[in-house]
Amino acid sequence: MELFLLFLTGLLSLASSLEVDDDVLVVNVQRFDGDLEQCREQEVCADVFNFTRNHGDGTGRLESRFIQNCRCPPGTPPCGSTGYQLMFKETKTQSMVTCEMAEEFPVCESGEIAKEQHNLGYIVYYKINCVCPNNENPGNFRNKMTTVKRWYEMTETEREEAKNHPRSRYFKCRE
Protein backbone atom coordinates (compact mmCIF):
# COMPACT_ATOMS: atom_id res chain seq x y z
CA MET A 1 0.00 0.00 0.00
CA GLU A 2 2.91 2.35 0.61
CA LEU A 3 3.67 2.28 -3.12
CA PHE A 4 0.30 3.88 -3.83
CA LEU A 5 1.26 6.94 -1.83
CA LEU A 6 4.28 7.46 -4.07
CA PHE A 7 2.02 7.82 -7.10
CA LEU A 8 -0.77 9.89 -5.67
CA THR A 9 1.12 13.12 -6.15
CA GLY A 10 1.51 12.32 -9.84
CA LEU A 11 -2.19 11.61 -10.12
CA LEU A 12 -3.07 15.13 -9.09
CA SER A 13 -1.35 16.50 -12.19
CA LEU A 14 -3.37 14.13 -14.39
CA ALA A 15 -6.61 15.53 -13.04
CA SER A 16 -5.97 19.17 -13.92
CA SER A 17 -9.09 19.66 -16.06
CA LEU A 18 -11.51 18.01 -13.63
CA GLU A 19 -12.68 18.93 -10.17
CA VAL A 20 -11.27 15.96 -8.27
CA ASP A 21 -11.90 14.78 -4.72
CA ASP A 22 -8.86 14.54 -2.46
CA ASP A 23 -9.71 10.98 -1.42
CA VAL A 24 -8.43 8.09 -3.50
CA LEU A 25 -10.38 4.94 -4.24
CA VAL A 26 -7.96 2.03 -3.89
CA VAL A 27 -9.09 -1.14 -5.65
CA ASN A 28 -7.22 -4.40 -5.02
CA VAL A 29 -7.82 -7.00 -7.72
CA GLN A 30 -6.67 -10.61 -7.67
CA ARG A 31 -6.76 -13.12 -10.47
CA PHE A 32 -10.24 -14.47 -11.16
CA ASP A 33 -9.55 -17.86 -9.61
CA GLY A 34 -7.93 -16.41 -6.50
CA ASP A 35 -5.17 -19.03 -6.68
CA LEU A 36 -1.91 -17.07 -6.93
CA GLU A 37 1.23 -18.97 -7.82
CA GLN A 38 4.61 -18.05 -6.38
CA CYS A 39 6.42 -15.46 -8.50
CA ARG A 40 9.32 -16.50 -10.70
CA GLU A 41 12.61 -14.64 -10.39
CA GLN A 42 12.24 -11.01 -11.57
CA GLU A 43 8.58 -11.59 -12.49
CA VAL A 44 6.11 -8.71 -12.25
CA CYS A 45 4.14 -9.51 -9.09
CA ALA A 46 1.60 -6.72 -9.62
CA ASP A 47 0.43 -4.10 -12.09
CA VAL A 48 -0.56 -0.73 -10.67
CA PHE A 49 -2.84 1.61 -12.63
CA ASN A 50 -3.32 5.16 -11.33
CA PHE A 51 -5.83 7.40 -13.09
CA THR A 52 -8.70 9.80 -12.66
CA ARG A 53 -12.13 8.24 -13.08
CA ASN A 54 -14.19 10.83 -14.99
CA HIS A 55 -17.79 10.94 -13.72
CA GLY A 56 -18.97 12.70 -16.90
CA ASP A 57 -20.21 15.78 -15.05
CA GLY A 58 -16.94 17.70 -14.84
CA THR A 59 -15.88 15.91 -11.67
CA GLY A 60 -13.66 12.92 -11.12
CA ARG A 61 -12.06 10.75 -8.50
CA LEU A 62 -8.49 9.55 -8.20
CA GLU A 63 -8.37 5.78 -8.49
CA SER A 64 -5.53 3.31 -7.98
CA ARG A 65 -5.92 -0.30 -9.12
CA PHE A 66 -3.49 -2.85 -7.73
CA ILE A 67 -3.71 -6.08 -9.74
CA GLN A 68 -1.70 -8.84 -8.11
CA ASN A 69 -0.34 -11.48 -10.48
CA CYS A 70 1.58 -13.79 -8.13
CA ARG A 71 2.82 -14.19 -4.53
CA CYS A 72 6.34 -13.13 -3.57
CA PRO A 73 8.50 -16.03 -2.32
CA PRO A 74 8.84 -16.73 1.41
CA GLY A 75 11.44 -14.48 3.03
CA THR A 76 10.62 -11.47 0.84
CA PRO A 77 8.15 -8.68 1.62
CA PRO A 78 4.64 -9.09 0.14
CA CYS A 79 4.20 -7.56 -3.29
CA GLY A 80 3.82 -3.79 -3.13
CA SER A 81 4.33 -3.55 0.63
CA THR A 82 7.56 -1.53 0.63
CA GLY A 83 8.95 1.40 -1.28
CA TYR A 84 12.16 -0.55 -1.94
CA GLN A 85 10.73 -3.01 -4.45
CA LEU A 86 11.24 -2.17 -8.11
CA MET A 87 8.54 0.00 -9.67
CA PHE A 88 9.01 -0.30 -13.45
CA LYS A 89 7.05 2.62 -14.89
CA GLU A 90 5.66 1.68 -18.30
CA THR A 91 3.55 4.85 -18.69
CA LYS A 92 2.50 7.77 -16.48
CA THR A 93 -0.47 5.71 -15.26
CA GLN A 94 0.80 2.09 -15.41
CA SER A 95 3.61 0.61 -13.34
CA MET A 96 4.86 -2.91 -12.75
CA VAL A 97 6.09 -4.09 -9.34
CA THR A 98 8.60 -6.88 -8.66
CA CYS A 99 9.33 -8.81 -5.48
CA GLU A 100 13.02 -7.95 -5.80
CA MET A 101 14.49 -4.74 -4.46
CA ALA A 102 15.10 -1.93 -6.96
CA GLU A 103 18.87 -1.88 -6.41
CA GLU A 104 19.10 -5.45 -7.74
CA PHE A 105 18.26 -4.22 -11.26
CA PRO A 106 20.89 -2.54 -13.43
CA VAL A 107 20.12 0.35 -15.74
CA CYS A 108 19.54 -0.93 -19.29
CA GLU A 109 22.18 -0.39 -21.93
CA SER A 110 21.11 0.80 -25.38
CA GLY A 111 19.21 -1.97 -27.19
CA GLU A 112 19.27 -4.37 -24.21
CA ILE A 113 16.11 -6.39 -23.51
CA ALA A 114 14.42 -4.57 -20.61
CA LYS A 115 11.44 -6.90 -20.17
CA GLU A 116 10.15 -10.18 -21.53
CA GLN A 117 6.57 -11.35 -22.03
CA HIS A 118 6.13 -15.11 -21.72
CA ASN A 119 2.98 -17.03 -22.61
CA LEU A 120 2.55 -20.28 -20.69
CA GLY A 121 -0.74 -21.76 -21.79
CA TYR A 122 -3.41 -19.37 -20.54
CA ILE A 123 -0.99 -17.50 -18.24
CA VAL A 124 1.03 -14.52 -19.44
CA TYR A 125 3.77 -13.10 -17.26
CA TYR A 126 6.38 -10.37 -17.55
CA LYS A 127 9.98 -10.61 -16.42
CA ILE A 128 12.03 -7.44 -15.82
CA ASN A 129 15.74 -7.66 -16.73
CA CYS A 130 16.85 -4.06 -16.24
CA VAL A 131 15.43 -0.58 -15.67
CA CYS A 132 15.11 1.95 -18.48
CA PRO A 133 17.24 5.07 -17.91
CA ASN A 134 14.11 7.23 -18.19
CA ASN A 135 12.11 5.19 -15.61
CA GLU A 136 11.30 8.23 -13.46
CA ASN A 137 9.90 10.17 -16.43
CA PRO A 138 7.61 7.77 -18.36
CA GLY A 139 5.54 8.76 -21.38
CA ASN A 140 1.85 8.34 -22.05
CA PHE A 141 0.01 5.34 -23.53
CA ARG A 142 1.18 6.06 -27.08
CA ASN A 143 4.74 6.67 -25.94
CA LYS A 144 5.39 3.73 -23.61
CA MET A 145 8.71 3.22 -21.86
CA THR A 146 9.43 0.09 -23.92
CA THR A 147 8.95 -1.02 -27.49
CA VAL A 148 9.14 -4.49 -29.09
CA LYS A 149 12.65 -5.58 -29.98
CA ARG A 150 12.53 -6.86 -33.56
CA TRP A 151 14.26 -10.00 -34.80
CA TYR A 152 16.82 -8.06 -36.86
CA GLU A 153 17.76 -6.04 -33.74
CA MET A 154 18.50 -9.13 -31.62
CA THR A 155 21.92 -10.54 -30.89
CA GLU A 156 22.61 -14.20 -31.75
CA THR A 157 22.11 -15.18 -28.10
CA GLU A 158 18.77 -13.34 -27.97
CA ARG A 159 17.68 -15.02 -31.22
CA GLU A 160 18.46 -18.45 -29.77
CA GLU A 161 16.36 -17.59 -26.69
CA ALA A 162 13.52 -16.39 -28.93
CA LYS A 163 13.66 -19.62 -30.98
CA ASN A 164 13.31 -21.65 -27.76
CA HIS A 165 10.27 -19.56 -26.72
CA PRO A 166 8.36 -18.78 -29.93
CA ARG A 167 5.29 -17.41 -28.09
CA SER A 168 7.34 -14.90 -26.09
CA ARG A 169 7.96 -11.23 -26.87
CA TYR A 170 10.94 -9.08 -25.97
CA PHE A 171 10.98 -5.35 -25.27
CA LYS A 172 13.76 -2.77 -25.22
CA CYS A 173 13.75 0.73 -23.77
CA ARG A 174 12.42 3.42 -26.08
CA GLU A 175 15.25 5.76 -27.05
pLDDT score of 14 more than 80: no
- Say how many domains are in the chain: 1
Q: What is the domain-level CATH number for residue 90?
A: 2.20.20.160
Range of the domain at 114: 2-173
Closest CA to 102 of 85, 83, 81: 85
This prediction has a pTM of 0.75
Residue 142 pLDDT class (50, 70, 90 cuts): low
Query: For the chain, what is the mean pLDDT?
Result: 78
Please state, in angstroms and rounded to a whole number, the distance separating the CA atoms of residues 90 and 135: 8
Residue 31 pLDDT class (50, 70, 90 cuts): low
| Per-residue pLDDT tens over the stretch 114-125 | 999 988 777 888
